[in-house]
Amino acid sequence: MEPTEIQVRGARVHNLQNVSVTLPRNQLICFTGVSGSGKSSFAFDTLHAEGQRRYIESLSAYARQFLGQLTKPDVDLITGLSPTVSIQQKAAGWNPRSTVGTVTQILDFVRVLFARVGTQHCTHCDRPITAQTREQILGRILALPDDDRIMILAPVVRGQKGEYRDLFEDMLRRGFSRARVDGRIVSLTDDPQLDRNVKHNIEIVVDRIVLKPTVRSRLTQAIEIALELGEGSLIVATLDDEADTKRRRRKPTDLLISSRYACTDCDISFEPPGPQMFSFNSPTGMCLTCDGMGTSFDFVPELMIPDPTKSFIELAIEPMRTRIGKWRKHIYESVAKSEEFKLTTPWCDLSTSAQHALLYGTGDKHLTFSWRWSGGIWKHGGTFDGVIHELREKHKKAKSAMVRNYYEKYMRTALCPDCRGARLNQQALSVKLDGKTIDDCLSLSIADAASYFAEVKLTATQQIIAEEALKEIRTRLQFLIDVGLHYLALDRTAPTLSGGESQRIRLASQIGSGLVGVLYVLDEPSIGLHARDNMRLLDSLQRLRDMGNTVIVVEHDEETMRAADTIVDFGPGPGHRGGHIVAQGTLSDIRKAKNSVTADYLTGKREIEIPKTRRPVTARSQADRNNRKKTSTGKRR
């Protein structure tokens, strides 16, 4: 038979004075009393500690060696104790990757939702993207001009080093006779000799076709073979007809087509979205610039250029430190020639594009560098990554703390320039659900997010797919609202949460877990909670009780005492003057207690006086209040 009460005999932990008490199970019990009277010692260091110790003792010897041994509390007897869960007043953690969404596991269901029913958009043109069927691929190729000569190619190697003799032999055995290697058509019977240390692109020639209405079946077969070899991708290469001078002038083009996710206008293929693509803790989804942190510690141009009247050649960019030598100068001169400016021009007079080219590079643009020496001029080509890239490498490779500190004078932590604090890569941020990206959803407050997910518009098919994920999201958001956390944003980082907020998040998680027969011990959950939300918190605690759990709350709040089924008052004073139970029972029983400080305040014998004079409200104090209101919303600044 299940016990109906918890009996404790002879508790002597910390300042407890041989306390003995009987507590009813499946009730909301409030431990109160002056600070230092022993209520936390009894709740956490006696009841919870013994519950944890007994749980660990019930495990196998193999499991216990990893968990370690817990010290038995100094108590004579505890009976009727259930498995215990402690929800203490402490921060959620210092991991900057943790957010409200990850701690509550809401983000896990949001990622599944976007992966399964979200619509992928092109990262360039923002057009919706879907997987192309075989018929769509066929129709697109047949839409090319009649009488065009095309090659259907299957890309089998992309930018990989090796000789690939086994590949060529395998393709030859399967009936293929030609391949395009690094843009050049070769015969597989000639055994192409490839440099094993050079990256190669290899496409197998599946068929050569002159586009006419009669080639539909042949083209269909070639598409099937190419997609199988190319693992879902094929290339349509147009060929020039040497007998036609008009066609000979036209530049041959390659058309990349994918049976997977691809933008038909930009000819860009994408990986099909999956839950990992929406995780900033996974390399698949994180922004590679900031490694999924949302912020980056990088050089700031304003700090790097203290005197903009200097020219670049005069070291306007101060952290470059040393005089620009001949070798570096010939590289910068080529950049200046390409962008049409002079290195001797004062920095403040340079155009924005010229400044950007020097600081951040010219991207993929190919430059020709000219090095003058006694034997003539040596020209070589390449790209320019920018001065900031050079400084990043120097800072990264610096072994001396003094050198690193020097460069860090010109660096600051700021929003990532690529993801703007969203933490995800561009493909993940291009998936939309009812017009919103995942970052738009996570930046909403919990109350706004609950409204959005309650009214999100989905098709009938999408509704069936998303039913379970939406149910979990809506339920967990409601739990957070019930404990008064409606103002937090889902992307709020865990280290910025207060102890009370962290405790209420864990409380909401416990309500959602649906456990029964558990002893919950909470440490002042009303701390940091607005008075208007206190009843929401109490409703949540009573819901835990009604599910068949015992809830013990260490609290000073009057509303909590009034809502409790049983109150245990510790005292009569703090420290060595405490450690006793001065009163126990219902609210009316506590009111009648004679040696209870709590009773004096509940009956009105004592009260906290309102100050007769208050500090005047100054402009500065009012501004501080306004700033606190803005930051308390939890939205990204």
DSSP H helix total and E strand total for the chain: 23, 25
Residues 6+ away with beta carbon under 8 Å from 88: 44, 503, 522, 523
Q: Which structural domain, as residue segments, surrounds residue 143?
A: 133-259
The answer, yes or no, to whether residue 634 has pLDDT greater than 60, is no
Same domain, 245 and 336: no
**pLDDT average, residue stretch 129-141:** 80
Lowest mean pLDDT among 13-22, 61-70, 582-591: 61-70
Q: Which of 415, 431, 457 is the last residue of a domain?
A: 415
| d(C-alpha 81, C-alpha 414), whole Å | 51
Instruction: Tell me the C-alpha distance between 530 and 221, whole Å.
Output: 69
Q: How many domains is the chain built from? A: 3
Of the candidates 31, 8, 137, 136, which has an alpha carbon nearest to the alpha carbon of residue 79? 8
The answer to whether the CB of 130 falls within 8 A of the CB of 506 is no
CATH of the domain at 517: 3.40.50.300
Sign of CA dihedral 240, 244, 246, 248: positive
Q: What per-residue confidence (pLDDT) applies to 130?
A: 67
Check: CB of residue 424 under 8 Å from CB of residue 439: yes
Q: Count Cα neighbours of 93 within 13 Å in the Cβ-side half-sphere.
A: 13
Q: What is the spatial distance between Cα 247 and Cα 251, in angstroms, rounded to a whole number?
A: 8
> What's residue 374's pLDDT?
76
C-alpha pair distances (Å), 65 with each of 56, 57, 60, 568, 605: 10, 11, 9, 37, 55
Q: How many residues does the chain have?
A: 637
Q: For residue 376, is it within any domain?
A: yes
Residue 333: both structure tokens together: 């001169």
Q: Specify if 504 maps to a domain.
A: yes
Rounded Cα–Cα distance for residues 591 and 385 (Å): 76
111 vs 326, residue with greater confidence: 111
CB of 506 closer than 8 Å to CB of 480: no
> Is-contact 180 153, C-beta < 8 A?
yes
Out of 393, 415, 437, a domain closes at: 415
CA angle in degrees (0–180, nearest 5) for 309-313-319: 80
- Is the pLDDT at 246 greater than 50, yes or no? no
- DSSP strand pairing (566-571 vs 28-33): parallel
Are the CB atoms for 507 and 525 separated by under 8 Å?
yes
Helix (H) or strand (E) holding 339: helix 326-339
Half-sphere exposure of 416 (CA within 13 A, CB side): 19
pLDDT score recorded for residue 265 = 66
Do 284 and 290 contact (CB within 8 A), yes or no? no
DSSP, collapsed to helix, strand or coil, labels residue 596 as coil
Are 232 and 334 found together in one domain?
no
What's the pLDDT score for residue 127? 79
**In this structure, is residue 306 part of a structural domain?**
yes
Residues with Cβ < 8 Å from 508, sequence gap 6 or more?
104, 476, 479, 480, 482, 483, 485, 540
Label the pairing between strands 376-382 and 436-437. Answer: unpaired
Place of tokens 């007809």: 241
Q: What is the pLDDT of residues 281-311, one digit of tens each?
A: 888 889 988 888 888 888 888 899 999 999 9
Q: Nearest CA to 445 among 496, 487, 479, 491?
A: 487
Residues 403 and 510 in one domain: no
Between 72-86, 110-124, 552-566, 607-621, the lowest mean confidence (pLDDT) is in 607-621
CA separation, residue 13 to residues 51, 71, 524 (Å): 15, 12, 20
Question: Which of 214-218, 239-243, 350-354, 538-542 has the lowest average pLDDT?
Answer: 239-243
So what's the pLDDT on residue 620?
63
Residue 393 included in any domain: yes
* Domain boundary, last residue among 210, 240, 259: 259
Same domain, 313 and 401: yes
Q: How far is CA 105 from CA 43, 53, 473, 534, in A?
A: 28, 28, 9, 24
What is the C-alpha radius of gyration for the chain, rounded to an integer number of angstroms? 35
Taking only the tens place, the pLDDT of each residue in 538-589 is 888 898 899 899 999 999 888 899 999 999 999 888 988 889 999 999 998 8
Nearest alpha carbon to residue 571 among 106, 38, 124, 13 = 38
Phi, psi of 137 (to 5 degrees): -65, -45
Residue 47 per-residue DSSP state: I
pLDDT, one tens digit per residue, over 447-504 is 999 999 999 999 888 899 999 999 999 999 998 988 888 899 999 988 888 877 887 8
Residue 154 bridge partners (DSSP): 204
Residues 6+ apart with CB under 8 A from 20: 8, 9, 10, 11
pLDDT band of 637, cuts 50, 70, 90: very low
Let me know if residue 559 belongs to a domain. Answer: yes
- Statement to judge: residues 315 and 393 lie in one domain: yes
pLDDT tier at 144, thresholds 50, 70, 90: confident
- pLDDT-above-70 percentage for the chain: 92
Give domain status of residue 621, yes or no.
Answer: no
Specify whether 252 is located in the same domain as 137: yes
Bridge pairing between strands 550-554 and 28-33: parallel
Q: Tell me the C-alpha distance between 544 and 515, whole Å.
A: 9
Widest Cα–Cα separation across the chain:
113
Classify burial at 550, counting beta carbons within 10 Å of its beta carbon; exposed 0-12, middle 13-18, buried 19 or more: buried
Given this model, what pLDDT does residue 17 score?
92
Domain CATH for 319:
1.10.8.280
Q: Does a structural domain hold residue 480? A: no
Question: What was the pLDDT predicted at 567?
Answer: 94
What does the pLDDT read at residue 245?
37
Quickly list DSSP for 240-307. Answer: --TT-HHHHHSPP-EEEEESSEEETTTTEEEPPP-GGGG-TTSTTTB-TTTTTSSEEEEE-HHHH-S-
Please tell me whether residues 532 and 599 are part of one structural domain. yes
Q: Are residues 153 and 46 in the same domain?
A: no
Lowest average pLDDT, out of 47-51, 194-198, 388-392, goes to 194-198
The reply to whether 303 and 225 lie within a common domain is no
Q: Assign 135 a pLDDT band (cuts: 50, 70, 90).
A: confident
Residues 510 and 590 in one domain: yes
Residue 475, domain member (yes or no)? no
CATH number at residue 203: 3.30.190.20
Say what the pLDDT of residue 503 is.
Answer: 79
CB 158 within 8 A of CB 285: no
Contact (Cβ atoms closer than 8 angstroms) between residue 533 and residue 509:
no
The pLDDT confidence band at residue 242, using thresholds 50, 70 and 90, is very low
Whether the pLDDT of residue 517 is over 80: the answer is yes
Residue 366: pLDDT band with limits 50, 70, 90:
confident
Question: pTM (2 decimals)?
Answer: 0.64
Whole-angstrom Cα distance, residue 162 to residue 225? 24
Task: Determine the straight-line distance between the first and last CA of the chain, rounded to whole angstroms.
Answer: 56
* Residues 332, 404 within the same domain: yes
Q: What is the pLDDT of residues 427-439, one digit of tens each?
A: 899 999 988 999 9
pLDDT, the chain, mean: 85
Cβ pair 586, 566 in contact under 8 A: yes
User: Angle of helix 499-513 relative to helix 534-546, nearest 10 degrees?
Assistant: 30
DSSP state of 44: I
Same domain, 306 and 212: no
pLDDT band, residue 249 (cuts 50/70/90): very low
